[in-house]
Amino acid sequence: MIELVKNGKTLAEGKYIIEKKPSSLKWILMFAFPVCLFILCLFLGRYTVSPGEVFSILGYKLLNLPIEPYWSETAVDVVIRVRLPRAIMAALIGAGLSMSGASFQGMFQNPLVSPFILGVSAGASFGAALGLVFELPAIVIQGLAFLCGLIAVAITYLTAHIYKVTPILMLVLSGMVVSALFQSLLSLIKFVADDEEKLPAITFWLMGSLGSVGLKDLAIASLPIIVSMAGLYLLRWKLNVLSMGDREARSLGLNTELLKALIIIFTTVITSTAVAFCGIIGWVGQVIPHFCRMIVGPDHKVLIPATMLIGAGYLLMIDNLCRLLTPNEIPLGILTAAIGAPVFAYLLRKTRGGWH
Amino acid sequence: MSVKLSIRNAGFGYHAREMVWRNINLDVKEGECFCLLGPNGCGKTTLFNCISGNYALNEGAIYINGKNVRDYSILELAQTMGIVFQEHRAPFPYSSLEVVRMGRTPHLGLFGTPSRHDTELAYSIMEDLGIAHLADKSYTHISGGERQLVLIARTLCQEPEIILFDEPTSHLDFKNQAMVLHTIKQLSQKGMTIIMTTHFPNHVWKVGTSVAMLGYKRMVAQGPVDEVMTEQNLSETYGVEINIYNAESDHKQIRFCDPNLE
């Protein structure tokens, strides 16, 4: 029956099987997870706004519905200026970091890789610390962090790029080298920083927080993140092919160098933006893909959308906890690690360290 | 029959001073099952890697359909030639159907994903090879021979004109060897052009139509299987005395060889 194949014809009817897809209930639940937490985010907080008020304010402000305002100006500020941008940012960054993690895990053929493996977090931390120590305005600090994240990854990529190819092992190793370099520079800045004000500022910044995110931050950060997420989404099936190794992927007609470069660019823009606006949020990009692989399996065609949904919901959940657990906000990075690391350990136990 | 692949005055060395081999000339005609026979370490796999486009030759050229391999893009090459590699590491437990479907990559754009037609095609190829029952099994959990068949199915999914095999039976037990050789023979009988490296001379009689015998650093002989596979050539290729035996079993003539240990 090889002739059939050669001519590229379809089969005689009745001889195909329908693609296995995770059940629709699974997808409904996965979709409901971030949506419910997003809504919860708008309701919950120290300043009480009733659910009715929240919906009315949203309808009035965003959809221009003809509702007679019966709420206080503070309620509008809290919902529109504080909670809404924060919730959107949490969802975007959670989704972005998780997709980046899943993409890198596919590309590096290793399910334990984090999206920070090429040194983006070390670079961005250094940039932010530099800005903080010179007391630059917030937007400049964010710009510096973003830029240094990109520079760190660019150095990693160029170091790994030998003989016209970029072997995975070289990427991992040069990522370690560049991370170490930027971490030492960060330490240098901490060492010379004034320990009354600037050192604590740097330390807090590095712990990560969504607390200061406003509408303006959201406007700047959302575009690069969404564009890069769309890029990763479109490339998701090619990750399957790429994960078979460079040589095989090339024999299947894939331009592996181009694909790797694109994936690195997309993930770096996402992670660098995330670190620039919200500090270092560890463990999300590692744990969520692993968790999703348990739910939908290893096929990146469904894994990437799953990580997007679960990642968004997960960070919304963690951020809610950060805001509500204690009178003072807990830095985000603390909780993502404190929750993420044990969850990861549990997943590893459950899958017996394996992914086979 | 037209020449599908030809190698002219080829030479390759990892270092310029030390060539693995040179002056290699080969012609593979359409529909042939061309075996590249030689002992371990003779440079078979290196030659294989040059043909597959992984290494660039230091001297000479390789032509596929009359066009230099160097002038092929990655995509064009994948549309013309499918490759079944020897060692194969499996990072994620994809289903076998998913792995077979990856063979559609050269027919999809950069952002493309396989359509339902692609999935059906992949499944029909698995049916043809008799491995449809593996479709939803994780390909990390099937036997080595079955995995080889899945990879052959993936290669067929590319709809290539030539298939390259690198020692397709090297790590397999008898049953799995038989399974893979049987499939290769079937493909060959259906007219597929096949090039395969092997270090088992007996497999050449089983599936080959032409053979090139690569000794250390040089080509010992090449041509149709029955003319070239002589005791003298085999002994020279492997550097050990080899005897050829003819036997009959169930009215079937078979020929095999064995090294002389005395």
Query: Tens digit of pLDDT for each residue in B50-70?
Result: 999 888 899 999 999 999 999
> Concatenated DSSP letters for A24-81?
HHHHHHHHHHHHHHHHHHHH-SSS---HHHHHHHHHHHHS-------S-HHHHIIIII
Which helix (H) or strand (E) segment holds residue B68: the answer is strand B67-68
Contact A10 B121 (CB under 8 A): yes
The predicted model scores a pTM of 0.91
Cβ of A164 under 8 Å from any chain B Cβ?
no
Question: Domains of chain A: which residue ranges?
Answer: 29-46+77-351
The residues with which B222 forms a beta bridge, in sequence order, are B212
Nearest CA-CA distance, residue B45 and chain A, Å: 14
Interface touch A254/B127, C-beta < 8 Å: no
List the beta bridge partners of residue B1.
none
Q: Write out the two tokens for A186.
A: 């960060």
Q: Does A85 touch chain B (CB under 8 A)?
A: no
**Residue A112 or A126, more confident:** A126
- pLDDT for position A251: 94
If you measure CA to CA, which chain B residue comes closest to A248?
B85
Query: Domain A29-46+77-351, what fold?
Result: ABC transporter involved in vitamin B12 uptake, BtuC (1.10.3470)
| pLDDT band at residue A72 under the 50/70/90 scheme | confident
Cβ-in-10-Å burial (0-12, 13-18, 19+) of A63 comes to: exposed
Is the ipTM value over 0.95, yes or no?
Answer: no
A19 and B CB contact within 8 Å: yes
The arithmetic mean of pLDDT across residues A63-85, rounded, is 88
Element (H, E) at B89: none
Most confident of A69-78, A94-103, A295-304, B194-203: A94-103
| Residue A355 pLDDT | 54
What pLDDT was estimated at residue B217? Answer: 77
Is a pLDDT exceeding 80 seen at residue A23?
no
Q: If you write DSSP's letter for every residue of A85-140 in order, what string do you get?
A: HHHHHHHHHHHHHHHHHHHHHHHTT-TT--TTTTSHHHHHHHHHHHHHHTT--HHH
pLDDT of residue B216: 82
10 Å CB burial of residue B1 (0-12, 13-18, 19+) is exposed
- Helices A300-324 and A24-43: crossing angle, nearest 10°? 20
Task: Please give, rounded to a whole number of angstroms, the shortest distance from the CA of B61 to a CA of chain A.
Answer: 19
Per DSSP, the three-state class of B212 is strand
